[in-house]
Structures are given as structure tokens and as C-alpha cells.
């Protein structure tokens, strides 16, 4: 939703002029003399996501909504992760990248014999990214990250396509492909011989490969100069060794849907 935030800033300025209000987004300056556009958005929302990676049933989670553009080209976002942008010219962006992946809660591993599967906590992963804005409406990028304190690695390729605004309603599509190394694949979709016996399936110890293809629709509707609603609908199709996992085929689904609705406040 990175592009939507920038378009929200433009719409907010237009609304301000229409209302003849003197407030506007200020360009702040850091201690080294650099500048950045003020864009600080906070909110709270409800997210409905698969109960565990590959699950057929869903769970509801109250999630914070944060998007902060800080000095030194640092961005913190609960949707796009955290980035430190070292490349920021001629449409190119790149630098450090961090994000997290959801874990698997034993309380969601039901009915039996799913409780034979291991639970694991959400993981923070960090690495780098590079992205190019071909136009104000089209960007393509890739990121590579590794679990902090773990052995999972992730490679993602994505493209964001902005759609024409409908009045103040801003929206966009993002297409993604993600692959993982063997450790991350086995953690999420592997089945040990002991677990396989309990589940009544064949053991599954996959290696590195494709995990999912994703299409995401994101939208933002301002309700005032400061407030608005953010919406995200994410459909992922498990592919490769992830989609072929007997855990997914017998007890889950390769179709993974995550939706989020949040009310946010933008500080000027």
C-alpha cells in the first residue's frame, strides 16, 4: 500500500485547499541536513487470516496499523515491513529490509490429530531489497531476507499497479511470488515420520522452492483530512512443495485468503 499512502498525501493536500485550511504536510529536516516528507499514519484494525500457514479455517486478529516515514529514509510499516533506503534516485530504491512471518499456534491446530503438529512463533526476518518505479503507477521490486535467530530464508518478487482514483477512493493491485529455502519450507509444510503416522499421511520433507503466488488488492478511503479507512484483500495460492504438502492437501487448502480493515489517523 506504499503507493496509496503517497496518493493519500496528495488527496489530503487537495482537500485542504478545497476547505481553505492552512495545514499541510511539512518537509522536516534531520540533523544531517536531509529532508523527508511528513507521512505518519497510525491506526487499529481487524485482520482475518488462515489459522496456520496452509489452513482451511481462519482466525481473527486485532492488529495495529502503522506507516511512519522517518529521517534518514527510514520507513516503518506493518504492511510493507521496515526499510532503510540507501538508493533513492532516478526511480530506484534499495537498502535494508525487515518483516515478519506468522507462526502456528497449537490452539489453532484442531481437530485432532492436527495437534500432533508442532507449533512455532512468528519470525522476524531481515535482509535487503531493490525496487524501481517505472511510473507513478507502476513499480517492480524484489527482496531477500533471512530469519533472525532462525534458519528460514525468503525470496520475493513483486509488482505494484496503481489504479485510477474514484473520487477520493484510492486503490491498487500488487502481484507477488515467494520462494523459500528448505528450512522454511519444512517448518511450515513438512511432516515428520512420527507426525505422518498420527495424521495418516506420507512423510513430507521438502527442499527449497516456490511457496506461493499472490494477488493483493489494497484501498484507502479518507473520511477527513486526518482520518480514513484502509482495506486489504490478499489471495495466495500455495504452489510447489507447499501446495503438494499432505498437511495442506488433507487438512488444509492451497487457497489462502487474508483480509484486513483498519481505521487510521494521519498526523500532519
Residue (of 240, 124, 117) closest to 185 by Cα position:
240
Number of other CB atoms surrounding residue 23 within 10 Å:
12
Lookup result for grid cell 535467530: 149
Q: What is the pLDDT of residue 88?
A: 87
Residues 172-182 have a mean pLDDT of: 98
- pLDDT tens digits for range 125-155: 999 999 999 999 999 999 999 999 899 999 9
Average pLDDT over the chain reads: 87
State what percent of residues in the chain have pLDDT above 90: 75
pLDDT grade for 111, boundaries at 50, 70 and 90: confident
Residue (of 129, 124, 123) closest to 160 by Cα position:
129
pTM of the complete model? 0.85
Q: What is the pLDDT of residue 196?
A: 97
Q: What is the pLDDT of residue 27?
A: 37
Is the sign of the CA dihedral 2, 49, 173, 129 positive or negative? positive
pLDDT grade for 227, boundaries at 50, 70 and 90: very high
State what percent of residues in the chain have pLDDT above 70: 86
Phi-psi region of 54 (alpha: psi -120 to 50; beta: other; left: phi over 0): left
pLDDT grade for 206, boundaries at 50, 70 and 90: very high
Q: What is the pLDDT of residue 35?
A: 32
Q: What is the pLDDT of residue 6?
A: 53
The answer to whether 113 and 198 have CB atoms below 8 angstroms apart is yes
Q: What is the pLDDT of residue 1?
A: 60
Q: Which residue has the higher pLDDT, 71 or 233?
A: 233
pLDDT grade for 95, boundaries at 50, 70 and 90: very high
Q: What is the pLDDT of residue 5?
A: 52
Amino acid at each position: 500500500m506504499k503507493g496509496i499512502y503517497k496518493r493519500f498525501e496528495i488527496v489530503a493536500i487537495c482537500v485542504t485547499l478545497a476547505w481553505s485550511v492552512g495545514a499541510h504536510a511539512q518537509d522536516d529536516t534531520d540533523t544531517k541536513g536531509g529532508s523527508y516528507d511528513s507521512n505518519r499514519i497510525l491506526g487499529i484494525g481487524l485482520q482475518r487470516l488462515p489459522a496456520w500457514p496452509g489452513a482451511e479455517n481462519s482466525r481473527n486478529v486485532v492488529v495495529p496499523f502503522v506507516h511512519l516515514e522517518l529521517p534518514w529514509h527510514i520507513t516503518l510499516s506493518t504492511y510493507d515491513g521496515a526499510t532503510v533506503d540507501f538508493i533513492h534516485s532516478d526511480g530506484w530504491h534499495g537498502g535494508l529490509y525487515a518483516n515478519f512471518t506468522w507462526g502456528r499456534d497449537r490452539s489453532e491446530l484442531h481437530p485432532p490429530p492436527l495437534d500432533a503438529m508442532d507449533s512455532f512463533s512468528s519470525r522476524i526476518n531481515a535482509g535487503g531489497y531493490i525496487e524501481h518505479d517505472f511510473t507513478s503507477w507502476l513499480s517492480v521490486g524484489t527482496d531477500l531476507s533471512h530469519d533472525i535467530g532462525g534458519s528460514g530464508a525468503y525470496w520475493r518478487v513483486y509488482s505494484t499497479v496503481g489504479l485510477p482514483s474514484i473520487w477520493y477512493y484510492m486503490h491498487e493491485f500488487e502481484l507477488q511470488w515467494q520462494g523459500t529455502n528448505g528450512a522454511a519450507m519444512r517448518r511450515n509444510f513438512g511432516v515428520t515420520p512420527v507426525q505422518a503416522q498420527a495424521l495418516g499421511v506420507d512423510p513430507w520433507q521438502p527442499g527449497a522452492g516456490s511457496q506461493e503466488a499472490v494477488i493483493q488488492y489494497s484501498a484507502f478511503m479518507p473520511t477527513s483530512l486526518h482520518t480514513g479507512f484502509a482495506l486489504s484483500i490478499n489471495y495466495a495460492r500455495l504452489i510447489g512443495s507447499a501446495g503438494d504438502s499432505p498437511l495442506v492437501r488433507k487438512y488444509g487448502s492451497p487457497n489462502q485468503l487474508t483480509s484486513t480493515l483498519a481505521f487510521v489517523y494521519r498526523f500532519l
